Structure 1
Amino acid sequence: MIIRNARPWGADAADVVIEGARIAAIRPHDSAAAPGPQDVAGRGRLLLPSFSDVHVHLDSSRIGLPFRPHTGAPGVWGMMLNDRRNWRNTDVPHAAIVAGTLERMIARGTTRVRTYAQVDVDCRLEKFDSVLAAKERFRDHADVQIMTFPQAGILREAGTVEYLEESLRQGADVIGGIDPCQLDRDPVRHLDIVFGLAERYQVEVDIHLHEPGELGVFSTELILERTRALGMQGKVTLSHAYGLGSVSEAVSRRLIDEFAELDIAMATVAPSTTGHLSLVDLVEAGVRVGLGEDGQRDYWSPYGNCDMLDRTWQLAFVNGFRRDDLIELALAVGTMGGASIMRGSSPRVAGVGDRPGVAPGDRADLVLVDGETPTSAVMDRGADRTVIHDGRVVADGLELAA
């Protein structure tokens, strides 16, 4: 297959040769060459790596359902209880909502997904089963990792650990944790359980960290300690962690250096906060940083529309980026940044000016999108998109391919 007349990362028009699941060659566009039956018309569009949403809650989505007023109380526990009260109250089966949300994400250019599946004594494995079914249904359209996630904490309700362990036996890819100090109020036991399960089932760890300031730093130091002691370098991600940059410049620098040393990744949802660690400093230090949409118009928040190009705009906006190279950095984080979290062999974003993912030898997970430049694509977020996964067109015009 040849993608004809496309502009990789906004460069000159080229013909991109795909062999199997890889980019084999990139050569100047030949307008006189006759297209083959499997070729894709680039039509001068931008060619970018496909998007990677590495922090999404498919299990709590309301995409496709009528809009409803927000009823959640403040705080993680209050929001969780709101979800627990309402998620079953729909005429559409839960599995259908989850599958529809994933389909919409793929159609808009996301072919790498790390999704949470809440596991607790209320939903047990119901949400996990729905996410697992969606992963199987779209296995040829996207790479999906499932994180078994104790949204209600691990220690507050007896029986949670057993459900977490059963989900790992059934194929969860990642074990999650959440606010070890604030939610469970026993950070040592909480993290010992998380890392113990990760070691037993040989899966990665992803910790939700909403804790502010010095409390968040304390929990982070416990995570660093366990990562080092268990030799889990490259297998731990911190999600949110938007208070780690609020203590002092010295603490921020130390944490960034330790993340780089232990290859601890970070997943951001581009929050409207000012206390997060500098995105530029993180990537320049070699830390893998990915982007996610978090909820999808769910019982926690009305935000989220399955479009990672929208969330890339938000990442650039909340970081105050105006220069093209910085906005393109946000785009690199939203595409290959997450890919490097999900698959260690994927090229990581090496810093401002690095544009990985569209070169000979790279995996053919790509998206064509209209735009004059990558920056204009982020600003305008056009709908003329063609999505390629493993060298095969899986969506076009915001609809899945037949």
Structure 2
Amino acid sequence: MTDTATTLRNVRPWGGAPADVTLSAGRIDAIVPHDPRAQQHLLVVDGRGRLLVPSFSDVHVHLDSTRLGLPFRPHTAEGGIWNMVMDDREHWRDAGMSVADRAAHTLGLMVARGTTRVRSYAQIDVDCKLEKFEGVLHAKQVHADRCDVTVMAFPQAGLLREGGTVPLFEEALRSGAQVMGGIDPCQLDRDPVRHLDIVFGLAEKHQVPVDIHLHEPGELGVFSVDLILERTRALGMQGRVTISHGYPLGGVSEPTTRRLIEDFAELDISMATVAPSVDTALPLVDLTEAGVRVGLGEDGQRDYWSPYGNADMLDRTWQLAFTNKYRRAELLEHCLAVATWGGATVLDPAVPRLTSIEDRPGLAVGDPAELLIVEGESVAAAVMDRSFDRTVIHDGHVVANALELIDGE
């Protein structure tokens, strides 16, 4: 792709007044009031009065397990993480399409719907070894000109239950894994100190951030979080630790909830939510106002773990608003800010975090040209309507339009 300047004509940044926005060298170069008589640049995208917002950042997706593009499959797994792991092991090789092809197909669908920044999990264990990890790396390469993908080495089956697991993570981190994952230190591996020592030890050795799946309930989850806080502080890993899910953490006492939010803010520990239908999640508004980085993700995509997921982060933004019982326009807009810029702050701690529900960042001169043009009377209406009339821009170039990928220039 060339660095020729591109002008987005007649767009409404965050639903404001019509503007003409010039992109150059992967950044927003200029924003001026829309002038129908202005001389057009060589490359012009007609916004047609649509909204301009930052593109989506999916900070929690399992490209390694997706079944999008394959026939619908009834869910067969029993409850509980280990039962799910075993069900996945029994079936994933019989999908009819390789992990690499499935991951690339789903990532393409995500880009076409407006996602240009991704953190994907890649399961590593003694069963699949590095096959799923390599499949996600393949998808990243296929769409390298359309989106930025960070790949996590993820111990979906734990680190301690099966011999020979940890050396596989060493190999993955030497082979391009950019994040070290962890999961339910108490419930799954049943040795939280050793589990977290391995996770943080490998992260420190390979100088990568940490992202820990946490489904553990109530006070047990708080116990695991306190061990994570302890290691974050001791190793100076502020801004490099994410807790994913964590949805039972708001179901404890109010003083404990407040203390957790304050600790997350102090240590710059971010949270990744998938908008679960629960009443025990830490309150989104309180997290934002405390300065905690929060991003949104789609989790699995119609895989062996769940029949949900459709590669559309605008749908998941609607779900975030719905599960939080939001109705006011500013809260619906805040959900979009979390799904776009909020996720970008999780992926890159150098990106300024959201600090209030009124923040609408990402569209100033100098900001990255990671953008989405979408139909909508207002931003709140766009979240509700979820129009397919979308134009997706990555690194200053149009990469998808009307849910179809664009090749080349």
Please indicate, yes or no, whether the TM-score normalized by the shorter chain is above 0.5: yes
Unaligned stretches of 5+ residues in structure 1 = none
Bigger drift between 183-192 and 349-358 goes to: 349-358
Q: Which residue of 2 aligns with 1:251?
A: 256
Q: Which residue of 2 aligns with 1:298?
A: 303
Q: Which residue of 2 aligns with 1:228?
A: 233
Deviation at 1:91, TM superposition (A): 2.0
Q: Which residue of 1 aligns with 2:136?
A: 131
Is the partner of 1:290 in helix, strand or coil?
strand
User: Deviation digits for residues 198-249 of structure 1, max 9, x if unmatched?
Assistant: 0000000000000000000000000000000000000000000001111111
User: Deviation digits for residues 242-267 of structure 1, max 9, x if unmatched?
Assistant: 01111111000000000000000000
Deviation at 1:94, TM superposition (A): 2.0
User: Deviation digits for residues 346-378 of structure 1, max 9, x if unmatched?
Assistant: 232221100011111110000000000001100
Deviation at 1:34, TM superposition (A): 4.1
**Runs of 4+ off more than 3 Å:** none
How far apart, in 2, do the equivalents of 1:91 and 1:213 lie?
A: 40
Matched, 1:75 2:80: yes
- Aligned mate of 2:69, from 64, 73, 77: 64
- Aligned mate of 1:308, from 313, 320, 341: 313
Deviation at 1:277, TM superposition (A): 0.5
User: Deviation digits for residues 136-191 of structure 1, max 9, x if unmatched?
Assistant: 12111111000100000000000110111100000100000000000000000000
Q: Which residue of 1 aligns with 2:275?
A: 270
- Aligned mate of 1:48, from 46, 50, 53: 53
Is the partner of 1:302 in helix, strand or coil?
coil
Contact 2:28 2:368 in 1 (8 A): yes
How far apart, in 2, do the equivalents of 1:87 and 1:299 lie?
A: 8
How far apart, in 1, do the equivalents of 2:161 and 2:309 lie?
A: 29
Matched, 1:242 2:247: yes
How far apart, in 1, do the equivalents of 2:186 and 2:298 lie?
A: 25
User: Deviation digits for residues 122-141 of structure 1, max 9, x if unmatched?
Assistant: 00000000101111121111
Contact 1:57 1:117 in 2 (8 A): yes
Question: After superposition, where does 1:325-364 map in structure 2 within 5 Å?
Answer: 325-364=330-369
- Aligned mate of 1:371, from 368, 376, 390: 376
Contact 1:59 1:117 in 2 (8 A): yes
How far apart, in 2, do the equivalents of 1:349 and 1:214 lie?
A: 28
Q: Which residue of 2 aligns with 1:162?
A: 167
One-letter amino acid of the counterpart of residue 166, structure 2: V
Q: Which residue of 2 aligns with 1:395?
A: 400
Question: After superposition, where does 1:311-322 map in structure 2 within 5 Å?
Answer: 311-322=316-327
Question: After superposition, where does 1:14-25 map in structure 2 within 5 Å?
Answer: 14-25=19-30
Matched residues, percent identical? 66
Contact 1:56 1:116 in 2 (8 A): yes
Q: Which residue of 1 aligns with 2:216?
A: 211
Deviation at 1:37, TM superposition (A): 2.9
Matched, 1:85 2:107: no
How far apart, in 1, do the equivalents of 2:242 and 2:230 lie?
A: 14
Unaligned stretches of 5+ residues in structure 2 = 1-5
User: Deviation digits for residues 8-44 of structure 1, max 9, x if unmatched?
Assistant: 0000100011111111111100011243331111000
How far apart, in 1, do the equivalents of 2:350 and 2:268 lie?
A: 13
Bigger drift between 93-102 and 254-263 goes to: 93-102
Contact 1:51 1:336 in 2 (8 A): yes
Alpha-carbon RMSD: 0.7
- Aligned mate of 1:121, from 122, 126, 131: 126
One-letter amino acid of the counterpart of residue 69, structure 1: P
Q: Which residue of 1 aligns with 2:147?
A: 142
Q: Which residue of 1 aligns with 2:34?
A: 29
One-letter amino acid of the counterpart of residue 306, structure 1: A
How far apart, in 1, do the equivalents of 2:192 and 2:68 lie?
A: 34
Deviation at 1:296, TM superposition (A): 0.2
One-letter amino acid of the counterpart of residue 231, structure 1: G
- Aligned mate of 1:97, from 85, 96, 102: 102
After TM superposition, the score normalised by the length of structure 2 is: 0.97
How far apart, in 1, do the equivalents of 2:348 and 2:229 lie?
A: 21
One-letter amino acid of the counterpart of residue 246, structure 1: G
Contact 1:347 1:357 in 2 (8 A): no
